[in-house]
Amino acid sequence: MKMHLETSDQNLISNYGRGVLSVNGQDFHQNILITRTRVVEDWFSGDMSELTLAHFEPLFDQVEKEQPEIVVLGSGSKHVFPDFALMAELKQRGVALEVMNTRAACRTYSVLVNEYRPVAAALIQIEE
């Protein structure tokens, strides 16, 4: 789906589809982690069961001025949950993890970031 890009001081998803995620008009062909101010390329590869808190450490480093309250996790073409222990660990750090397929995650992130909510998106490429 192609989305129209508005001028903004934050990262906006401009396109998503099979094998591509675009942020501010730049295409990415690997899984990415998006915050308001940066894109972490080659963020994660593997089975959802292998996803750990360490994969989300970029959200808590000193580069980010504001820690997100919500991380929208796009699990690819299908809705697949990670280990529930990960959700609990993120919650202990003050972050809610919302899991959905990547198409829905892109739409949800776009709405929340345009409302200037403290949000990040962790996106697995759509394969099918």
**pLDDT digit string, tens, across residues 23-74:** 999 999 999 999 988 999 999 998 999 999 999 999 998 777 789 999 999 9
Residue 51 resides in a domain: yes
Whether 22 is in a domain gets the answer: yes
3-state secondary structure of 67: coil
Give domain status of residue 128, yes or no. Answer: no
Residue 34 lies in a domain: yes
Which backbone phi and psi does 98 adopt, to 5 degrees? -105, 120
The CATH number that applies at residue 105 is 3.40.1230.10
In the chain, how many domains are there?
A: 1
pLDDT digits (tens, 9 = 90+) for 70-110: 999 999 999 999 999 999 999 999 999 999 999 999 999 99
Domain of residue 73, residue span? 13-123
Q: Which residue has the tokens 């995620």?
A: 21
Planar angle of CA 40, 42, 44, nearest 5 degrees: 100
Taking the whole predicted model, whether its pTM rises above 0.85 is answered as yes
Cα 128 from chain centre: 19
54 inside domain: yes
Q: Which residue has the tokens 């001081």?
A: 9
Does residue 104 fall inside a structural domain?
yes
Nearest one of 66, 61, 55, 63 to 32, comparing CA atoms: 55
84 inside domain: yes
Taking the C-alpha atoms of residue 51 and residue 25, their distance in angstroms, rounded to an integer, is 28
Evaluated on CA atoms 34, 35, 38, 42, the torsion sign reads negative
Measure CA 99 to chain center: 10
Q: Which amino acid is at 95?
A: V
